[in-house]
């Protein structure tokens, strides 16, 4: 390990750049992790592109990025040793996973048992899967024999498809603007796909449900449009899980009259990184390691950290059929 490292860093709104910077040593209670891979989350994009929940600048090397995997090179915390493979799950506000050597609070690291023949990129997906597992554990809903709609088919939406189908949903209807994402949705349990760039999602869902609407809905986009649309897509007395981080800090207009008359319940979820014992992330790692879920179809792009600017551009624009974009070190 030298004195400098490679890193991506948010330098201004809308722009992440590659840098070579001094390594920041671990502090008490922290680990210094040699990153192998990091991936880009939709909430990272909402921060970079729209300034949502950004801490004040200047932003540190490695920020934003809260999905990472690597090996401990220095431990200043009990329970971790040099050489341990860890999943990094820091809170998004302080994440530095886009750094070659990242400082990581030990309470936001999950030690990974050796898993022969399983690529680290696959294990990295346990971060996003863990947040979805956390959401469904916090708000368990009986979907057996019911119709479910999932808006958004990024990694979170795909994982919701998988878990809701395994929970017994009779029909999982999904919608997204990206045909590439919709093409892999059946692998994760989707029964019906709707291209929102070409079709009227509301009309399609109502047609598929005989005008009734879905029994349950997950919003996994975090846009003003899909939050408002979700109310239109569900039957009376339904529950909705608003999972996606909104793309704005402004007030999001919805039709409260429709929400009220349908007697709907909307739930939001946040904070898997603060769960005692990080149980949901451990469950996610176990599911991937056992082969209960095959994450390979969503791993569309891995770029070297020197191309981190392009990685964020791809994740935002969805060019080149991008689904999940990661960087390698």
pLDDT per position as a tens digit, 22-32: 999 999 999 99
Q: Where are the alpha helices (DSSP H) in 80-125?
A: 120-124
Residue 64: per-residue pLDDT: 96
Residue 227 in tokens: 């939050």
CATH match of 4-128+273-328 with 3.40.50.2300: no
Residue 32: per-residue pLDDT: 98
Residue 131: per-residue pLDDT: 98
Domain(s) of CATH 3.40.50.720: residues in the chain: 140-268
CA 219 from centre of chain: 13
61 and 21 Cβ atoms separated by less than 8 Å:
yes
Question: In this structure, which CATH number among 3.40.50.300, 3.40.50.720, 3.40.190.10, 3.40.50.12280 belongs to the domain 140-268?
Answer: 3.40.50.720
> How far apart (Å, rounded) are the C-alpha atoms in residues 90 and 97?
8
Residue 253: per-residue pLDDT: 92
Residue 11: per-residue pLDDT: 96
Domain(s) of CATH 3.90.180.10: residues in the chain: 4-128+273-328
Nearest Cα residue to 234 out of 148, 126, 117, 134: 148
50 and 247 Cβ atoms separated by less than 8 Å:
yes
Residue 165: per-residue pLDDT: 98
Residue 117: per-residue pLDDT: 82
Residue 231: per-residue pLDDT: 98
> How far apart (Å, rounded) are the C-alpha atoms in residues 170 and 254?
29
Residue 6: per-residue pLDDT: 98
Which regions in the chain score pLDDT beneath 50? none
Nearest Cα residue to 35 out of 4, 60, 10, 5: 5
CA-to-CA dists, residue 251 to 123, 174, 246, angstroms? 37, 26, 10
141 and 218 Cβ atoms separated by less than 8 Å:
no
Q: Using only the alpha carbons of the chain, give its radius of gyration.
A: 20
Residue 245: per-residue pLDDT: 87
Nearby residues of 287 by Cβ (< 8 Å), 6 or more positions away: 126, 129, 293
The DSSP-derived string for 211-255 is: TS-EEEEEE-S--HHHHHHHHHHEEEEEEEEE-SPPS-SSPPP--
> How far apart (Å, rounded) are the C-alpha atoms in residues 294 and 235?
32
Consecutive H or E run containing 127: helix 126-138
pTM of the model: 0.96
95 and 65 Cβ atoms separated by less than 8 Å:
yes
Residue 255: per-residue pLDDT: 95
Residue 2: per-residue pLDDT: 84
């Amino acid at each position: 390990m030298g004195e400098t490292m490679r890193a991506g860093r948010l330098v201004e709104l809308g722009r992440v750049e590659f840098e070579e910077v001094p390594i920041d040593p671990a502090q008490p209670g922290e680990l210094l992790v040699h990153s192998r891979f990091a991936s880009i989350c939709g909430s990272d994009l909402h921060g970079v592109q729209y300034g949502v929940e950004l801490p004040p600048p200047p932003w540190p090397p490695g920020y934003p990025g809260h999905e990472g995997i690597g090996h401990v090179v220095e431990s200043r915390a009990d329970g971790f040793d040099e050489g341990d493979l860890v999943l990094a799950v820091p809170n998004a506000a302080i994440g530095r996973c886009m750094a070659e050597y990242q400082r990581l609070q030990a309470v936001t690291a999950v030690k990974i048992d050796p898993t022969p023949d399983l690529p680290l990129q696959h294990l990295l997906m346990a971060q996003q899967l863990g947040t979805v597992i956390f959401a469904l554990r916090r708000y368990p809903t009986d979907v057996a024999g019911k119709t479910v709609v999932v808006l958004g088919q990024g990694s979170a939406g795909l994982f919701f498809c998988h878990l809701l189908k395994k929970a017994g949903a009779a029909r999982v209807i999904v919608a997204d603007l990206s045909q590439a994402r919709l093409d892999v949705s059946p692998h994760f349990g989707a029964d019906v796909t709707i291209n929102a760039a070409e079709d009227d999602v509301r009309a399609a869902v109502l047609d598929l449900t005989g005008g009734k609407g879905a029994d349950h809905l997950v919003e996994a986009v975090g846009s003003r449009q899909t939050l408002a649309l979700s109310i239109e897509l569900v039957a009376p007395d339904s529950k909705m899980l608003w999972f996606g981080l909104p793309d704005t800090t402004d007030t999001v207009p919805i039709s409260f009259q429709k929400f009220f008359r349908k007697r709907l319940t909307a739930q939001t979820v946040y904070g898997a990184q603060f769960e005692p014992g990080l149980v949901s992330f451990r469950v996610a790692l176990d599911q991937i390691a056992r082969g209960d879920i095959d994450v390979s179809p969503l791993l569309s792009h891995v770029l070297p950290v020197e191309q981190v600017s392009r990685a964020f551009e791809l994740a935002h624009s969805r060019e080149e059929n991008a689904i999940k974009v990661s960087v390698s070190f």
